[in-house]
Chains A and B, each alone.
Chain A
Amino acid sequence: MMRSDPRALQLNEQGQLKHFLTLDGLSKDILTEILDRAESFLSMGEQSVKKVPLLRGKTVVNLFFENSTRTRTTFELAAKRLSADVINLNIATSATSKGESLLDTLQNLEAMQSDMFVVRHQDSGAPHFIAENCTPNVAIINAGDGRHAHPTQAMLDMLTIRRHKGQFEGLKVAIVGDILHSRVARSELHALKTLGVDDVRLVGPKTLVPEYFRDMGATICHDLKVGLDDVDVVVMLRLQKERMAGALLPSESEFYRLYGLTEETLAWAKPDAIVMHPGPINRGVEISSEVADSDRAVILDQVTNGIAVRMAVMSMAMSGQMQEQQAAGDED
């Protein structure tokens, strides 16, 4: 089997995106291009005609091996606004659960001559696996793989930060909660570091914040007060109920008491600090209703920005794919 670094796999020979698998290894220029392009799509959403023809005639397949309503819907909306034809496949309840292998499923979909797969999968590295094992002219967009990466979520968070804070240099960012299981936290860490944020703090108990993140350039805080001190941005992560059963935490109430974001604890951050959450939120578990509904929370902006960022990434990857196919055609 072919072996390649996922970071190299997602770029074409001109260094442009042809897949979007991880933010690890992507340059500041590419991340900025995504944000700039998303910014231009944002204004379009306010117009009465919301479509551009960038993906006209292309077929986008949403391949969701794990259930998700919100992410899938925003990807679908993004693809439709780019004028693509969209097919949604909810494979969590489809063929693979009957013993069909992932590869067999993919080969069937390829035979339908799709142009782009938007993939969510429970296994880390699955989109990378698909990119390596598919015909080369299908663009793969990672919509979340295991604990590994959720690059579009991280980029929509970056867009949200930039729109509220103007720039990245000098910002202090805290990510709070279940870092261990969070693909969002991992992708955000790569994005923040690349875009120039030096002070990224991961906050939570040792069971949820492995020390190894220190080697990735983050500061680890077990005390919320230290973690939130003077920060510009607070990212709260969703706490799954399973974590209590896995003996990672004693209870939701103890977590809330130590790491919950309330008006009192938010006061440790900068007065103009914004609060983000990838959703869906657990009120009273990681965040209080008062904070979630306050004007400090930009959670709904994140959703709007998500459509624009996904349009940006999909259009960039498709154009990178077409350039590569063009180049291959010229060689023939």
Chain B
Amino acid sequence: MKLRISNGRVIDPSQHLDAVVDLFVEDHRIVAIGEAPSDFDDCDVIDVEGKWILPGLVDTAVALREPGYSQKGTIASEGRAAVSGGVTTLICPPNTKPIVDTPAVAALIQDKADDAGMANVFPIGALTQGLQGEQLSNMVALTDAGCVALSNHGYDIASNRVLSRALEYAATHDLLVVFHSDDSSLSEGGCAHEGMMSTMHGLAGIPETAETIALMRDLLLVEKSGVRAHFARISCAKSVEMIANAKASGLDVTCDVALHNLLLTDEVLKEFDGQFHVIPPLRSENDRLTLIEGLKTGVINAICSDHQPHEKMAKVAPFAATESGMANVEVLLPLALRLMDEGDLSLDQLLTALTNGPAACFGLEAGSLAAGSFADFVIFDSTEKWLWNHSTRKSKGLNSGFSGEEMTGRVVQTFISGQRVYKLN
């Protein structure tokens, strides 16, 4: 099968390309950009004049909720939401039920994802059995079963000895470990950034030190063990500085940030709306601006949606009693582009953090339109204005602080390995 995508504006940070050129696809892969290969006279043509052609987005944090929490989402429903948002490769966390601490669960997730035929799905395996922070998981078996990294997710490993050994073991086999740096003795019971807003509204705070103390410990243990490390969802200005210093000293670490931490601050707490209950919490304006600066300077490698779908009732309660998380994967791109509208980031910086940036963190062959790459790409109408609400929503999750808002820009088609998996009606 041969396919020519013509007249679109191709933007690919991996090649520093931004030009109106044609894209040529053959047998799952991109074979050329610009000049047609010699044997492309007789091929299907899709004319996308006026639209953008982007590499398929790579999202480092999409909870699919399956197995175990199908009232919140399924691999099929969240996979569909992902491709409708232009996400063609996603990494899912190990906090399913059962937890991804056996090869069988990792295989189940990938089989179901293959059946659904939606985004490419890469699970993260549990670093310790049951995420209990006590016994090491079978890390190599999990990796052989398709896990791209190991993590204890949001569950703090209280024992430095266990953590240190887990990292040494992972380093032995050159495995990637994902950290959610959080000192649970400091964050326990908290539901909002510790600051004026949480104090005034009587919400138990999560201090910055809950993240930074754990991050410092984690960095020291990464240095000692030599493990490859990725820091997920940093939220504090100080964390950006600490990671910058670690990188400058030669440590092999990367990090990402959740999109909502770039767009919102704890100012939203005044409405007591549980849709804004996220972990790590929305922090101060200084934190937000420093995270954006971290993207500009390349200290932060990726922006993720931190997609966490919930059933309706999970958010119908007073703020502290709601479950944390937002489900934004399907509007990742229009929301991220708001950062460009405000002049905070260039289009190239933004797309790097959504495509080849995250792919590189996890060593995935994705996020690029270079000849030879998998033909994972997105046709995007950058000007369409549309309302994101219950009738246009794809995810099973109904939870987002951005629900009901007007979006600018919309994914119109998504291709994975040259096959169209999504087309806007």
Contact = CB atoms under 8 A, between A and B. Distances in A.
A123 B271 contact: no
Interface string B286-318: 000000000000000000000000000101111
Q: Which of A103, A124, A147 has the largest count of B CB atoms less than 10 A from its CB?
A: A124
Q: Which of B199, B202, B204, B315 has the largest count of A CB atoms less than 10 A from its CB?
A: B202
Nearest to A215: B196
A101 B317 CA distance: 8
Contact of B271 (A5, A24, A147, A149): A5
A147 to B, nearest CB: 3
A132 to B, nearest CB: 9
B202 A149 contact: yes
Interface in A95-132: 101-103, 121, 123-126, 128-129
A3 B271 contact: yes
Interface in B243-275: 270-273, 275
Nearest to B313: A101
A202 to B, nearest CB: 11
B319 A125 contact: yes
Contacts of A3: 271, 273, 275
Contact of B201 (A125, A129, A213): A125
Those 7 A-B pairs whose CB atoms lie nearest each other, nearest first: A148-B202, A147-B202, A125-B272, A123-B318, A124-B202, A212-B199, A126-B318
19 contacts: A1-B273, A1-B315, A1-B316, A3-B273, A3-B275, A5-B271, A6-B270, A6-B272, A101-B317, A102-B317, A103-B317, A123-B318, A124-B201, A124-B318, A124-B320, A125-B201, A125-B319, A186-B200, A216-B196
A146 interface: yes
Contacts of B204: 147
Contact of A146 (B273, B275, B320): B320
Contacts of A123: 317-321
Secondary structure at chain A's binding surface: helix, strand, loop or mixed?
mixed
Contact of A102 (B203, B275, B315, B318): B318
B237 to A, nearest CB: 17
B280 to A, nearest CB: 19
A133 B316 contact: yes
B226 interface: no
A100 B316 CA distance: 13
Interface in B305-352: 313, 315-321
B272 A129 contact: yes
Given A103-B313, A123-B317, A123-B319, 19 more contacts: A1-B275, A1-B315, A3-B271, A4-B271, A5-B271, A6-B271, A101-B313, A103-B317, A124-B203, A124-B272, A124-B319, A129-B318, A146-B202, A146-B318, A146-B320, A147-B202, A148-B201, A212-B200, A216-B199
Contacts of B317: 101-103, 123, 129
Contacts of B320: 123-125, 146
Interface of A: 1, 3-6, 24, 101-103, 121, 123-126, 128-129, 133, 145-149, 183, 186, 210, 212-213, 215-216
A101 B319 contact: no
B396 to A, nearest CB: 17
A129 B315 CA distance: 11
Nearest to A4: B271
A212 B271 contact: no
Contacts, number: 77
Contacts of B319: 123-125, 129
Nearest to B317: A102
B67 interface: no
Contacts of A186: 200, 202
B409 interface: no
Contacts of A128: 272, 318
A5 B270 contact: yes
B316 A101 contact: yes
Q: Which of A123, A146, A149 has the largest count of B CB atoms less than 10 A from its CB?
A: A123
Contacts of A121: 318
Nearest to A216: B200
Nearest to A123: B318
A3 B316 CA distance: 12
B75 to A, nearest CB: 27
Interface string B22-36: 000000000000000
Contacts of B199: 210, 212-213, 216
B154 interface: no
A103 B312 CA distance: 12
Contacts of A6: 270-272
A94 B245 CA distance: 54
A3 B275 CA distance: 10
A50 to B, nearest CB: 34
B389 to A, nearest CB: 12
Interface in B172-226: 195-196, 199-204
